[in-house]
Each structure stands twice: as C-alpha cells, then as structure tokens.
C-alpha cells in the first residue's frame, strides 16, 4: 500500500523519513501542494499506512493529513 503523510515542515519530513527507514519503510519526501492540507512537506510511504502513521505519532512527529494513494515508491 502507498500513502502520503503531510507534515508541517521540511525538517519534520526529513525526520519522518529517518524514523520510517529505521523501521523498514520505504519513503520519499515531497513538497505538498494540496490546498486542503495547507503548506508543508510530506513523505510518501510504502507499507502499512496505519502502522506508519502510529509510528510517526509515537515519535512525536505531527501528521497534518494521512491519505492512501495508488502506485508505489
């Protein structure tokens, strides 16, 4: 499964990518252009989206929006 986590800043996107990588998730950083989620950056995550979301929250990384996508990283 592929999902997108929108975060408040580029710094948090890089932190999220490090946390995800350390826990076996493949991800890539993107600049968010979705007006519904506001400005920011995010990570596209390949894997269990619910578990990845819970991991980010446990690590203190605020997720503005989590959305499932089609395709792969």
**For the segment 47-62, what is each residue's pLDDT rounded down to a tens digit?**
999 999 999 999 999 9
pLDDT of residue 69: 83
SS3 59: coil
Cα–Cα distance between 56 and 72 in angstroms, integer? 20
Cα–Cα distance between 14 and 16 in angstroms, integer? 5
pLDDT of residue 63: 94
**Which tokens sit at 24?**
């076996």
pLDDT in tens, 16-58: 999 999 999 999 999 987 766 566 899 999 999 999 999 999 9
Instruction: Domain 2-69: state its class.
Output: alpha beta
Cα–Cα distance between 6 and 48 in angstroms, integer? 16
């Amino acid at each position: 499964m592929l999902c997108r986590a929108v975060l408040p800043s580029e710094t948090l996107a890089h932190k999220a990518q490090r946390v995800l990588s350390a826990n076996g998730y493949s991800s890539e950083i993107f600049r968010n252009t979705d007006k519904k989620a506001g400005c920011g950056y995010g990570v596209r995550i390949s894997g269990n989206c619910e578990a990845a979301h819970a991991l980010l929250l446990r690590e203190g990384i605020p997720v503005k929006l989590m959305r499932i996508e089609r395709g792969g990283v």
